[in-house]
Amino acid sequence: MTEGPSLIRGLEGVVAAETRLCDLDGKNGRLAYGGYDIDELARHAAFEEVAYLLWHGELPRPAELAELKSALAAARQIPGDLSQGFRLMPRATDPMRALQAAVAILGMHDPDATDNSQAANRRKAARLTSQLATAICAHHRARSGKEPIPPSTDLSHAANFLYMLTGERPSAVIAKAFDASLTLYAEHEMNASTFTTRVITSTQSDLHSAVAGGVGALKGPLHGGAGEAVMRTLMEIGEVANVDAFSDQALATKRRLMGFGHRVYKAGDPRAAILRGMAEEACRQSGQFKWYEMAVKLHARINAAKGLIPNVDFYSAPLFYSLGIPVDLFTPVIAAGRIAGWTANIIEQHDDNRLIRPRGEYTGPGRRPWFPIDKR
Ligand code: CMC
pLDDT digits (tens, 9 = 90+) for 88-122: 999 999 999 999 999 999 999 999 999 999 999 99
Protein residue closest via CA to atom 31 of ligand 1 = 263
Task: Name the nearest CA neighbour of 197 among 218, 173, 169, 170.
Answer: 218
pLDDT at 306: 96
Q: Kindly write down the DSSP assignment for every residue of 269-294, as one continuous string.
A: -HHHHHHHHHHHHHHHHTT-HHHHHH
Q: What is the structure's pLDDT at 5?
A: 74
pLDDT > 70 fraction of the chain, expressed in percent and rounded = 99
Mutate to test the pocket of ligand 1, among 263, 266, 298, 312 (most ligand atoms within 8 A of CB): 263
Determine the pLDDT at residue 143. 97
Ligand 1 centroid vs 58 CA: distance in angstroms? 34
Query: Ligand 1, closest atom to CA 314?
Result: 44
CA–centroid distance, residue 10 to ligand 1 (Å): 12
Q: How far is the CA of 258 from the centre of ligand 1 (A)?
A: 8
Rounded Cα gap, residues 6 and 61, in angstroms: 48
Task: Find all residues with CB under 8 Å of 219, minimum gap 6, and list them.
Answer: 94, 96, 97, 100, 225, 331
Strand 36-37 with 22-25, pairing: unpaired
Which residue's CA lies nearest to atom 36 of ligand 1?
Answer: 261
CA-proximal residue: ligand 1, atom 9 (nearest): 261
> Which atom in ligand 1 lies closest to the alpha carbon of residue 259?
44
3-state DSSP helix/strand/coil % of the chain, to nearest 5: 60, 5, 35
- Check residue 4 and give its pLDDT: 67
Ligand 1 pocket at CB < 6 A: 10, 191, 222-224, 226, 256-263, 308, 311-313
User: 133 CB contacts (<8 Å, ≥6 apart)?
Assistant: 76, 157, 160, 161, 164, 336
Average pLDDT over residues 70-83: 97
Write out the catalytic residue numbers. Answer: 262, 313
Q: What is the torsion angle, in degrees rounded to the nearest 10, for the CA atoms of residue 308, residue 313, residue 316 and residue 321?
A: -110
From ligand 1's centre to the CA of 213, what distance in Å?
23
Domain spanning 226-322: CATH 1.10.230.10: yes
Proportion of the chain above pLDDT 90, given as a percent: 98
pLDDT score of 97: 98
Q: In this model, does residue 308 exceed pLDDT 90?
A: yes
Counting ligand 1 atoms within 8 A of each CB, the residue from 22, 264, 271, 311 with the most, and so the one to mutate, is 311
What SS3 string covers 79-106?
CHHHHHHHHHCCCCCCHHHHHHHHHHHH
pLDDT of residue 311: 97
Out of 193, 262, 299, give the residue to mutate to test ligand 1, the one with the largest number of ligand atoms within 8 Å of its CB: 262
Q: What is the reported pLDDT for 360?
A: 94
Q: What is the pLDDT of residue 362?
A: 94
Write the pLDDT tens digit of every residue in 190-230: 999 999 999 999 999 999 999 999 999 999 999 999 999 99
For ligand 1, atom 8, the nearest C-alpha belongs to: 261
Classify domain 21-220+329-351 at the CATH superfamily level. Answer: Citrate Synthase, domain 1 (1.10.580.10)
Q: Where are the domains of the chain?
A: 21-220+329-351, 226-322
- CA of residue 219 to ligand 1 center, whole Å: 16
* pLDDT > 70? residue 33: yes
Asked if residue 1 has pLDDT above 70, the reply is no
pLDDT grade for 2, boundaries at 50, 70 and 90: low
